């Protein structure tokens, strides 16, 4: 079938909206008609090259180019067709994309760590997760699907383990945002940082992920939540999501937290800047209390190999640094659970959406993200 899609052809290029060809789903695959797709910062890292290996290193590793790339990994859509062997969904079901697959059989899934599913190793390789065969083409060239989802199109084919059935009455925009940004930020504060009642929490970066870390920390009972972001609009919005204090910089936050805690600093620090540079860790660790936890959720340039951490302080003050993907949550539980909290009025999602766009306006949406005009932008297909 033919469909319209946003394709990235190389570094530093604009998204090109054009016709693609989508082949029918194979065994254990599903054709989804997307209704909404989130404009996540993650795709921007392919535009800038932060998540792209240099050509010489890529060729040495025997990897194909990631381009042309069909973007999009946050999505909500309706199942249009199923392949042989699909049992979890049926045509007409509303589903959320799951950029982290969950096979249910590997050692990570079997021990409750779906966010580390072994199939995640194939997310950026060309071809379908099920059999390695390409089912999406543009200008006759095979397309690579971002995280094996490809939601920047009206139709794409995904493996059954990359979608999660949700309540059909839910609004697509909310479902799309929970599939990555909401779950990652909320989980970073709740699952990975382990925020408990009475904590002082600092969240650095109040974009689509960070704002949900603010929300998660507040919901977990933190007595103080400091939101740090240079954009005034985001600082103001953070107070609606549970921030008790806001700062424009980490240095400002250090002075504030030092004063309010009598020098003890924050039990939890969550790092979600637009790009996670290693030098930011020096101030992050200053913000972290003795025995405290610093969680790094932001994406760093792929080849960055150094971070500014005082190892004496790390050891002698018993601090810890943790990474997280998908907020260290389990997609098949967390996505429906977060949406249930949203339906109950406990979790703010609608308030995250600053603007919606048609697919043809995707570049405007990313311009708005870069300029700090949006908390979240969402593509709506209907």
Active site residues per annotation: 40, 42, 45, 73, 180
Q: Nearest CA to 36 among 90, 95, 81?
A: 95
Q: Nearest CA to 281 among 315, 310, 312?
A: 310
Could you tell me how many residues make up the chain? 382
Residue with tokens 């994309």: 97
Q: What are phi and psi for residue 38, nearest 5 degrees?
A: -80, 140
Count the alpha carbons within 13 Å of 257 in the hemisphere toward its beta carbon.
Answer: 32
Between β-strands 288-296 and 320-323, what pairing exists: parallel, antiparallel or unpaired?
Answer: parallel
Contacts of 242 (CB under 8 A, 6+ apart): 214, 215, 217, 218, 219, 222, 225
Count the alpha carbons within 13 Å of 296 in the hemisphere toward its beta carbon.
Answer: 19
Query: Left, alpha or beta for 51 (phi > 0: left; psi -120 to 50: alpha)?
Result: alpha
Q: Nearest CA to 78 among 94, 102, 65, 67?
A: 94
- Residue 33 parent element (H or E): strand 29-38
Listing DSSP states for 121-158 in one string gives GGTTSSS-TTTS---EEETTEEPEEGGGT--SBSEEEE
């Amino acid at each position: 079938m033919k469909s319209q899609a946003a394709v990235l052809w190389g570094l530093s290029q604009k998204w090109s909206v054009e016709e693609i060809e989508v082949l029918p789903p194979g065994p254990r695959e599903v054709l989804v008609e997307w209704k909404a797709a989130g404009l996540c910062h993650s795709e921007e890292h392919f535009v800038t090259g932060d998540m792209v290996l240099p050509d010489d290193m890529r060729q040495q590793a025997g990897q194909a180019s990631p381009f042309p790339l069909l973007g999009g990994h946050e999505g909500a859509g309706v199942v249009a067709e199923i392949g042989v062997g699909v049992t979890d969904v049926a045509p007409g079901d509303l589903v959320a994309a799951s950029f982290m697959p969950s096979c249910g059989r590997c050692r990570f899934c079997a021990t409750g760590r779906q966010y580390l599913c072994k199939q995640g190793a194939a997310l950026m390789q060309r071809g379908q997760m099920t059999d390695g065969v390409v089912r999406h083409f543009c200008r006759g060239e095979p397309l690579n699907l971002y995280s094996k989802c490809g939601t920047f199109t009206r139709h794409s084919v995904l493996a059954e383990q990359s979608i999660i059935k949700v309540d059909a009455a839910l609004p697509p925009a909310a479902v799309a945002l929970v599939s990555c940004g909401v779950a990652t930020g909320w989980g970073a504060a709740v699952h990975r940082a382990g925020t408990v009642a009475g904590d002082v929490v600092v969240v650095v970066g109040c974009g689509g992920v960070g704002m949900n870390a603010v929300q998660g920390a507040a919901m977990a009972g933190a007595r103080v939540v400091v939101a740090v972001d240079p954009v005034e609009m985001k600082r103001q919005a953070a107070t609606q999501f549970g921030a008790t204090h806001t700062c424009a910089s980490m240095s400002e936050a250090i002075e504030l937290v030092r004063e309010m805690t009598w020098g003890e600093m924050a039990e939890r620090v969550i790092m979600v800047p637009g790009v996670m540079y290693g030098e930011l860790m020096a101030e992050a660790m200053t913000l972290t209390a003795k025995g405290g936890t610093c969680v790094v959720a932001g994406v760093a340039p792929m080849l960055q190999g150094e971070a500014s951490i005082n190892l004496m302080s790390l050891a002698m003050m018993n601090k810890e640094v943790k990474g997280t993907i998908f907020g260290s949550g389990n997609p098949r539980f967390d996505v429906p659970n977060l949406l249930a909290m949203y339906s109950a009025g406990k979790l703010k999602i609608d308030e995250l959406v600053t603007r919606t766009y048609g697919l043809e306006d995707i570049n405007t949406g990313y311009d708005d993200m870069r300029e700090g005009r949006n908390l979240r932008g969402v593509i709506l297909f209907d």
